[in-house]
């Protein structure tokens, strides 16, 4: 048979440089870095992924909204919803931000995609070329690193301190790159309750950062995933509102404030930026049914009530984790208690290797990722941090983290 002698099509001969840029074995290989080591303990305490408290999810309200939308908009909710997303949801988002930031926004500034991850992918599609330089916080959300690297950009990490990304470091690095004749295209920042460190960029640095980026023609990508999840008082005004949207693209998501499985995020930007992004959106949009249900849910005012509830929940959880670690592990760990978000960022003292702690903790049924997952070069950059996500664990589980990790550290010292 002639057919059998023909060469098989081997994907290796077809793979794009985009796909190759996310290489096997890299720290951002799968987008779902192996944060959870295997454990033999039955019901382990899981402090891994940044997912909402399961009990808090407004399942009944979402279900009611879905049913009402399907009954009222039988056809429209099951038909193509348009590339920019359902107008009603974009209007609800514009209203939300207008109210929160005391500045008039409109639906034309918004575009809906698959979560903020999908939004960041689209922004890279529209504005990032191979070899462009993108500045990110070091450490930062590994999924965003993966997306940016997937667009073949060069990532440079800027260190953080307790007040967020360090301006003097940005200035130094940008100057150095410009001396080399290189252009910096974009800066990606999670300035509110950052993932993984929990830090908030100070108000002073925010205006400095905007001025600096504008004068150096660096586009700012502001990831607001956690902005609404403050414990007692909101973070400083967003970069987007301070800059009146000029030179800033903001991405937001329902993943952290309602449920990660909604897969609905949004980009907010000046109309001319949104226009460019629609040029590279080829997937005909995502589910108008879910977009309509979320709009209906928001229009009832229930989102605001829900946000108050979850702020209290995460504040309590954070407090519990923080208290138990302070009580049991303060000789071993240092951390700043965050004022919002999902994460406690732990620095291991006494020369502990984070990887050793994680391994032993896993064997005892406490699961969490290494801090190195959030650095570009993984454990080459860092083996002294841990990220503990308190958002999805129960209060009871969180209470036992202190004693658990205390015994881990004691065992490692012996």
Q: Which of residues 327-386 bind its own copies (CB under 8 A)?
A: none
CB atoms within 10 A of CB 313: 18
Residue 1 as a binder of its own copies (CB under 8 A): the answer is no
- Between CA 392 and CA 255 the distance in angstroms is 13
Among 91, 109, 202, 286, the residue binding its own copies under the rule CB under 8 A is 286
Our CB check for its own copies shows the closer of 57 and 346 to be 57
Q: Does 170 bind its own copies (CB under 8 A)?
A: no
Stretch binding its own copies (CB under 8 A), from 16-24, 90-98, 326-334, 383-391: 16-24
128 binds its own copies (CB under 8 A): yes
Which residues ranging from 210 to 239 are in contact with its own copies (CB under 8 A)?
Answer: 211, 214-215, 217, 219
Decide: is 99 part of the binding site for its own copies (CB under 8 A): no
Which neighbouring-strand residues pair with 251?
Answer: 223, 267
The residue length of the chain stands at 414
Query: Cβ closer to its own copies: 131 or 161?
Result: 131
Of residues 67 and 106, the one with the C-beta less far from its own copies: 67
113 binds its own copies (CB under 8 A): yes
Q: Are the C-beta atoms of 226 and 196 separated by less than 8 Å?
A: no
With CB under 8 A as the contact rule, the residue among 36, 107, 260, 394 that binds its own copies is 260
Options 288, 340, 369, 378; binder of its own copies; rule CB under 8 A:
288
- Provide the minimum distance between the beta carbon of 229 and its own copies in the complex, in angstroms, as a whole number: 17
Question: What is the side-by-side strand order in the sheet with 110-113?
Answer: 110-113, 265-268, 248-253, 219-223, 184-189, 133-138, 154-161, 164-165
List 6, 38, 168, 351, residue binding its own copies (CB under 8 A):
6
The half-sphere exposure of 390 on its side-chain side, counting CA atoms within 13 A, is 34
Least spacing, CB of residue 364 vs its own copies, in Å: 25
Nearest C-alpha neighbor of 238 from the set 247, 246, 250: 250
**Closest CA relative to residue 27, chosen from 146, 196, 124, 121:** 146
Output the CA–CA distances (angstroms, integers) from residue 338 to 222, 297, 318, 333, in the order listed: 19, 29, 8, 15
Residue 94 beta carbon to its own copies: minimum distance, rounded to whole angstroms? 20
Pick one of 61, 121, 137, 228: the residue that binds its own copies (CB under 8 A).
121
If one asks whether residue 282 binds its own copies (CB under 8 A), the answer comes out as yes
Q: How far is the CB of 311 from its own copies (least distance, A)?
A: 19
**Which one of residues 261, 312, 350, 380 is an interface residue with its own copies (CB under 8 A)?**
261
Assess 272 for contact with its own copies (CB under 8 A): yes
Least gap, CB of 140 to its own copies (angstroms): 15
Min dist. Cβ of residue 402 to its own copies (A): 26
- 178 counts as binding its own copies under rule CB under 8 A: no
Backbone angles phi, psi at 107, to 5 degrees: -60, -25
43 touching its own copies, by CB under 8 A = no
**What value does the CA radius of gyration of the chain take, rounded to a whole number of Å?**
22
CB of 383 to its own copies, least distance (A): 27
Min separation Cβ 189 and its own copies, Å: 15
Cα separation of 156 and 65, whole Å? 43
Separation of alpha carbons 66 and 364, rounded Å: 42
In the bound state with its own copies, the residue whose beta carbon lies nearer, of 91 and 253, is 253
Residue 250 binds its own copies (CB under 8 A):
no
Which residues have C-beta within 8 Å of that of residue 179, sequence separation ≥ 6? Answer: none
Task: Count Cβ atoms below 10 Å from residue 43 Cβ, excluding itself.
Answer: 7
CA 104 to chain centre: 26
Residues 129, 161, 308, 411: which binds its own copies (CB under 8 A)? Answer: 129
Short-list 158, 234, 152, CA closest to 189? 158
- To the nearest whole angstrom, how small is the minimum distance from the Cβ of residue 399 to its own copies? 22
Task: Tell me, residue by residue from 290 to 329, as one string, x for binding to its own copies by CB under 8 A and - for no binding.
Answer: x---------------------------------------
Torsion angle, alpha carbons of 269, 271, 272, 274, to 10: 60
Nearest CB to its own copies, comparing residues 273 and 335: 273
Query: Does 72 participate in binding its own copies (rule CB under 8 A)?
Result: no
Rounded Cα gap, residues 197 and 341, in angstroms = 10
Using H for helix, E for strand and C for coil, what is the string for 14-33?
CCCHHHHHCCCCCCCCCCCC
């Amino acid at each position: 048979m002639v057919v059998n002698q023909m060469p098989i099509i081997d994907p290796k001969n077809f793979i794009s440089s985009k796909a190759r840029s996310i290489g096997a074995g890299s720290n951002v290989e799968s987008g779902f870095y192996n944060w959870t080591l295997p454990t033999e303990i039955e019901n382990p305490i899981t402090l891994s992924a940044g997912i909402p408290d399961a009990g808090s999810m407004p399942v009944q309200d979402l279900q009611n909204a879905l049913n009402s939308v399907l009954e009222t908009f039988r056809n429209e909710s099951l038909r193509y919803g348009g590339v920019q997303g359902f107008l009603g949801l974009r209007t609800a988002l514009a209203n939300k931000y207008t109210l929160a930031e005391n500045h008039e926004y409109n639906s034309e500034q918004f575009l809906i995609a698959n979560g903020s991850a999908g939004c960041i992918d689209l922004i890279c599609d529209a504005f990032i070329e191979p070899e462009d330089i993108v500045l990110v916080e070091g450490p930062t959300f590994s999924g965003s690193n993966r997306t940016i690297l997937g667009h073949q950009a060069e990532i440079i990490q800027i260190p953080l301190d307790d007040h967020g990304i360090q301006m003097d470091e940005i200035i130094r690095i940008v100057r150095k790159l410009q001396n080399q004749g290189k252009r910096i295209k974009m800066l990606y920042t999670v300035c509110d309750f950052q993932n993984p460190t929990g830090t908030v960029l100070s108000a002073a640095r925010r205006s400095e950062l905007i001025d600096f980026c504008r004068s150096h023609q660096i586009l700012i990508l502001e990831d607001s995933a956690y902005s609404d999840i403050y414990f007692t008082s909101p973070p400083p005004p967003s970069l987007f509102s301070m800059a009146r949207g000029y030179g800033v693209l903001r991405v937001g998501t329902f993943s952290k404030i309602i449920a990660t499985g909604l897969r609905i995020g949004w980009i907010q930007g000046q109309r001319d930026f949104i226009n460019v992004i629609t040029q590279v959106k080829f997937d005909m949009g995502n589910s108008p049914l879910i977009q309509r249900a979320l709009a209906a849910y928001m229009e009832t005012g229930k989102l605001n009530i829900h946000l108050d509830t979850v702020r209290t929940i995460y504040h309590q959880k954070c407090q519990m984790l923080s208290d138990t670690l302070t009580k049991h592990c303060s000789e071993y760990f240092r951390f700043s208690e965050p004022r919002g978000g999902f994460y406690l960022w732990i620095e291991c003292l006494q020369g502990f290797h984070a990887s050793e702690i994680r391994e032993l903790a896993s064997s005892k049924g406490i699961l969490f990722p290494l801090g190195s997952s959030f650095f570009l070069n993984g454990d080459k950059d860092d083996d002294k941090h841990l990220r503990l996500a308190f958002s999805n664990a129960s209060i009871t589980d969180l209470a036992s983290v202190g004693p658990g990790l205390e015994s881990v550290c004691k065992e490692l010292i012996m």
